[in-house]
Every structure is written in C-alpha cells, then in structure tokens.
C-alpha cells in the first residue's frame, strides 16, 4: 500500500485546525468569529494558536514510530 500524502496532509490540516480552535476557545472567544476579524488582536491570537498547534503536532510526530 502506497503512502497517501494527500490524505496525510488533509488529516494533519484538520488536526491543526482543531488544535487552533481549542486554543482560541480557551481564551473565551469563538474561532469562527476571530477568523472573520481583521484587527491586530485577532491576527496575533491566530498566530499564537498556530504556534501552539504546530508545537503539539511536533510532539505527536516525535512519539510516532
């Protein structure tokens, strides 16, 4: 069975989005509303959420065989 990069990328993107949404919700805000905003605070929050998600995904990759 060949490794399906498309599926893997799609799955990873979904995991990243879920982690980002969880991070944003943890600040008491709605992820969908934050994404719709264009102010600096929203951009900073999304950048922090992306960094958090990337860190968590790296942790998962280190644990996988």
Q: Is residue 16 assigned to a domain?
A: no
Q: Is residue 52 assigned to a domain?
A: yes
Beta carbons of 42 and 13 less than 8 angstroms apart: no
**pLDDT tens, residue by residue, 24-48:** 999 999 999 999 999 999 999 999 9
Q: Number of folded domains in the chain?
A: 1
Q: Is residue 12 assigned to a domain?
A: no
Q: Is residue 60 assigned to a domain?
A: yes
Domain of residue 51 covers 29-65
**pLDDT tens, residue by residue, 4-20:** 555 578 888 999 999 99
Radius of gyration of the chain from its Cα atoms, rounded to whole angstroms:
14
- Taking the model in full, what pTM does it have? 0.79
Report d(CA 47, CA 2) in Å as an integer: 34
* CA-based torsion, 4, 5, 9, 12: positive or negative: positive
């Amino acid at each position: 069975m060949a490794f399906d990069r498309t599926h893997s990328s799609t799955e990873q993107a979904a995991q990243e989005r879920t982690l980002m949404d969880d991070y944003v919700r943890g600040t008491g805000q709605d992820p969908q509303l934050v994404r719709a905003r264009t102010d600096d605070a929203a951009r900073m929050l999304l950048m922090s959420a992306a960094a958090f998600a990337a860190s968590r995904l790296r942790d998962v990759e280190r644990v996988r065989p």
